[in-house]
C-alpha cells in the first residue's frame, strides 16, 4: 500500500478490525519512511449490480446515488451522516442477499422507504413524495394521514386519492 503522503510502499499495519457488520476490514497503517498514519479498507468485490428501471432500461447500481437520495430526504433532520451510512450499508446488504446481478428499481425504493420509516417520518414522506410520484396535494396529505392512522405506508397507493374523472 502506497503512503498517501510520500508515496513509499513500505508500511506497517497498526490495527485491524471488522466494520460494516463484518463486510469489510479497516486497517490503520503507518508509513515506515515518513511516519504518516492512514486508514485503508478491505472488502469483497462483487460483480457490479445493475438496476432494472421501470421502463426496462438497465443502469449500473450506484451506492453514491442511493446515499445522496437518502441524505436529501434527511436534510435538516437530526440524523448523522454516520447513521445514514449505516442505513445505506444495511440496504445494500439486504439487496445483495435478495438479488444476484439485477435489482428492480422498485425493490430499492421500497427498501429505502421501509428504512426511512423506521428512522424518521419526515424523511420518509420526503422520499415517498418523489419515489411514489405524488401529483397533487391530496396524495401527499393522504400519505401523511395514513402514517398518523398507523396504516401500512403506501397501502392505498398514490392513485387512491386521485380525483375521480
**pLDDT tens sequence across 101-153:** 899 999 999 999 999 999 999 999 899 888 888 888 888 788 888 888 776 55
**Residue at grid coordinates 449500473:** 60
Alpha-carbon dihedral angle through residues 124, 129, 133, 135, given to the nearest 10 degrees: 150
What is the per-residue pLDDT across 43-98, written as a single tens digit (0 to 9) for each?
876 678 999 999 999 999 999 999 999 999 999 999 999 999 999 989 998 998 89
The region, left, alpha or beta by phi > 0 then psi within -120 to 50, assigned to residue 25 is beta
Contact 25, 18 (CB under 8 A): yes
What is the per-residue pLDDT across 70-79, written as a single tens digit (0 to 9) for each?
999 999 999 9
Distance CA 30, CA 11 (A): 5
| pTM of the model as a whole | 0.65
Contact 140, 160 (CB under 8 A): no
109 closest CA partner among 81, 133, 86: 133
What is the per-residue pLDDT across 13-37, written as a single tens digit (0 to 9) for each?
999 999 877 878 999 999 999 999 9
Distance CA 112, CA 127 (A): 8
Domain ranges of the chain: 11-43, 50-151
Amino acid at each position: 500500500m502506497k503512503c498517501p503522503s510520500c508515496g513509499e510502499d513500505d508500511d506497517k499495519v497498526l490495527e485491524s478490525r471488522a466494520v460494516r457488520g463484518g463486510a469489510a476490514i479497516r486497517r490503520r497503517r503507518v508509513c515506515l519512511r515518513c511516519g504518516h498514519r492512514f486508514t485503508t479498507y478491505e472488502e469483497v468485490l462483487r460483480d457490479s449490480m445493475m438496476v432494472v428501471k421501470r421502463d426496462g432500461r438497465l443502469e449500473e447500481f450506484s451506492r453514491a446515488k442511493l446515499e445522496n437520495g437518502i441524505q436529501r430526504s434527511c436534510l435538516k433532520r437530526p440524523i448523522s451522516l454516520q447513521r445514514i451510512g449505516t442505513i445505506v450499508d444495511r440496504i445494500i446488504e439486504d439487496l445483495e442477499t435478495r438479488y444476484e446481478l439485477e435489482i428492480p428499481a422498485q425493490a430499492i425504493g421500497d427498501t429505502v422507504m421501509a428504512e426511512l420509516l423506521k428512522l424518521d417520518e419526515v424523511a420518509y414522506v420526503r422520499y415517498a413524495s418523489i419515489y411514489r410520484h405524488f401529483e397533487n396535494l391530496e396524495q401527499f396529505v393522504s400519505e401523511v394521514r395514513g402514517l398518523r392512522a398507523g396504516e401500512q405506508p403506501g397501502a392505498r397507493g398514490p392513485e387512491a386519492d386521485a380525483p375521480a374523472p
